[in-house]
Structure 1
């Protein structure tokens, strides 16, 4: 513990030396809906925390709904006295914030690794899954890909407007994959990439996607699943900030336009043993087939994680590469679980179902539990789409059905934690019901 504190203290002192104009640091963590919460600390107080001082925030901050409200979930929030819970600083995440008007820093905090971790904190859920896999001699290597849209900074009666093409000042309203769009939006995209790199995130490929103002960013592969999910979470925060600085809105909303493709979170996962051998490639790739079978078996029960809100379900079965059934295939982007072409050393799955606004910690945890379940059960998967274009199993396409399918699934309750599953499902149920408690203009137009 002393060595750990010394490392953190050295990190804080180095940061202060390199950024003497920074007076405050945002200490942030991801809640269940995938939003950051936290506190803004004077940088001198951060030294005390790094040296071993207490860092406490309300436990129930993790339970906030999409709009920030608290729901009654068991005894949490209203019958538990709203207790504080210990957090710790995540080493290596103290970085400058360049998109605010004043000099600022930020650093991730978490309850995992504390004396009493919060069972339903997303990062803690993933940490437990990774720890169990490591005890089994399974070491995941992970890479995220995130799609997002750029919009004009100003909304039109609450509705998004197409981003303005900096070259012509016209709306970028034509869906295309042209490389020229990267050049036209290079100023904001380059700033996004550089800002992410300043946060310690390994940005690799940038792609102009099919939707107007839609782009995709790929991250490097990591043998640290927690850090890979950290990267995805931090990228969303910095990208929104950089976009505003350049006169745009950046959004990871799953389906902002019904007529254009939605935005997904694609996750590449390979599994290695302690000697560095690719587990999925062994025995003529039989473990790969078992792992795929496990993913597909649990996928219908993980839909509240992969599609975490009403809008995310709109993305499924959309115009491009968004399935409505649990399926797999080799080099097939219509599949939920795609097997990219690769050599045995790099054999992996690409899980393509999650929406871009899903919680990256929970998405990765659910995928890994599916792989683990498949390796344990050793079942054969259904036929790949390459052999049968109609292959696939149904999954819920509406939140309340999805919550019912998740809440009582025995493997998920065991592998993700029963307390987490109950809390998460009730959070999603309450959020969905709250979303329905508004009559919009269309409803009056149809039925008044």
Structure 2
């Protein structure tokens, strides 16, 4: 513990030396819906925390709904006295914030690794899955890909408007994959890339996607699953900030336009043993088939994680490369689980179902749980799409059905934690019901 505190203290002191104009640091963590919460600390107080002073925030901050409100979930929120819970600083994440008007820093905090971690904190859920896999000699290597849209900064009647092409000042309303779009939006995209790298995020390829104003960012393959998910979470935060600075609005909303493709979170996962051998390639890729079967078996029971809100379910089906059933295939982007072409050393799965606004810690935890289950159960998967284009199993496409399917699945409860599953499902149920408590203008047009 002493050496750990010494490392953190050195990190804070180095930061203060390199950024003497920074007076405050945002200590942030991701809640269940995937929003950051936290506190703004004077930098001199951060040094005390790094040296070992307690860091506590309300436990129930993790339970906030999509709009920031609290729901009654068991005894939490309203019958527990709203207790504090310990957090710790995540080493290596103290970085300057460049998109605010005043000098600022930010640093991730978490309850995992504390004496009493919060069972339903997303980062803690993933940490437990990774720890269990490590004890079994399984070491994941992970790479996220995130799609997002750029909109004009100003909304019109609450609706997003196409991003303006900075060269022509025309709306970027033509969906295409043209490389020239990267050039036209290079100023904001370059700033996003440089800002991400300044946050310690290993971003690689930038692609202009099919939707108007839609882009995709790829991250490097990382042998630390928590860090890989940290990168995805922090990228969303800094990208939204950079976009506003340039007069745009960046959104990871799953389906902002009905007529254009939605935005997804694609996750590449390979599994290695302690000697660096690819476990999925073992026994002539038999282990790969078992892992795929496990993923597909649990997928219908993890839909509230992969599609975490009403809008995310709109993304499924009827658009480019968005699956409507649990399926897999080799080099097939219509599949939920795609096997990219690679040599045995780099053999991996690409899980393509999650929406871009899903919680990256929980998405990765659910994927790894499926892979782990498959390696244990050793079942054969259904036929790949390459052999049968109709192959696949149904999954829920409405939130309340999805919540029931998740809450009642014993393997998911075991792999992700029963307490987490109950809390998460109730949070999603309450969010969905709250969303329904407004009469849309369309209802008056149809039924008045």
TM range (shorter): over 0.9
Query: For 1:321-372, what per-residue CA distance to the aligned partner results, in whole angstroms no more than 9, with x for missing partners?
Result: 0011000000000000000000000000000000000000000000000000
Query: For 1:45-104, what per-residue CA distance to the aligned partner results, in whole angstroms no more than 9, with x for missing partners?
Result: 000000000000000000000000000000000000000000000000000000000000
Alpha-carbon distance in 1 for matches of 2:442, 2:411 = 41
Alpha-carbon distance in 1 for matches of 2:183, 2:328 = 35
Alpha-carbon distance in 1 for matches of 2:267, 2:347 = 14
- 3-state DSSP class of the match of 1:325? coil
Give the aligned partner of residue 323 of structure 1: 323
Deviation (angstroms), 1:145: 0.1
- 1:144, 1:232 within 8 Å by CA — same for their partners in 2? yes
Q: Please, what TM-score do these two structures have when normalized by structure 1?
A: 1.00
Give the aligned partner of residue 79 of structure 1: 79
- 3-state DSSP class of the match of 1:228? helix
Q: Please, what TM-score do these two structures have when normalized by structure 2?
A: 1.00
Deviation (angstroms), 1:118: 0.1
- 1:270, 1:349 within 8 Å by CA — same for their partners in 2? yes
- 3-state DSSP class of the match of 2:105? strand
Alpha-carbon distance in 2 for matches of 1:401, 1:201 = 36
- 1:305, 1:359 within 8 Å by CA — same for their partners in 2? yes
Give the aligned partner of residue 397 of structure 1: 397
Alpha-carbon distance in 2 for matches of 1:420, 1:209 = 35
- 1:112, 1:123 within 8 Å by CA — same for their partners in 2? yes
- 1:26, 1:107 within 8 Å by CA — same for their partners in 2? yes
Deviation (angstroms), 1:426: 0.1
Alpha-carbon distance in 2 for matches of 1:363, 1:16 = 35
Alpha-carbon distance in 1 for matches of 2:408, 2:261 = 32
Is residue 222 of structure 1 aligned with residue 222 of structure 2? yes
Alpha-carbon distance in 1 for matches of 2:408, 2:224 = 30
Give the aligned partner of residue 37 of structure 2: 37
- 3-state DSSP class of the match of 2:77? coil
Deviation (angstroms), 1:319: 1.5
- 1:262, 1:318 within 8 Å by CA — same for their partners in 2? no
Deviation (angstroms), 1:408: 1.1
Alpha-carbon distance in 1 for matches of 2:397, 2:203 = 33
Structure 2, unmatched stretches of 5+, are: none
- 1:261, 1:318 within 8 Å by CA — same for their partners in 2? no
Q: Report the aligned-residue RMSD.
A: 0.3
- 1:269, 1:348 within 8 Å by CA — same for their partners in 2? yes
Deviation (angstroms), 1:445: 1.1
Deviation (angstroms), 1:197: 0.1
Deviation (angstroms), 1:39: 0.1
- 3-state DSSP class of the match of 1:354? coil
Deviation (angstroms), 1:318: 3.1
Alpha-carbon distance in 2 for matches of 1:300, 1:13 = 48
Alpha-carbon distance in 1 for matches of 2:50, 2:137 = 32
Alpha-carbon distance in 1 for matches of 2:29, 2:410 = 28
Query: For 1:165-214, what per-residue CA distance to the aligned partner results, in whole angstroms no more than 9, with x for missing partners?
Result: 00100000000000000000000000000000000001100000000000
- 3-state DSSP class of the match of 1:326? coil
* Moved beyond 3 Å, runs of 4+: none
- 1:266, 1:351 within 8 Å by CA — same for their partners in 2? yes
Alpha-carbon distance in 1 for matches of 2:335, 2:360 = 20
Alpha-carbon distance in 1 for matches of 2:397, 2:233 = 25
Alpha-carbon distance in 2 for matches of 1:141, 1:203 = 15
Give the aligned partner of residue 88 of structure 1: 88
Deviation (angstroms), 1:127: 0.1
Alpha-carbon distance in 2 for matches of 1:131, 1:318 = 38
- 1:176, 1:209 within 8 Å by CA — same for their partners in 2? yes
Give the aligned partner of residue 197 of structure 1: 197
Alpha-carbon distance in 1 for matches of 2:366, 2:282 = 23
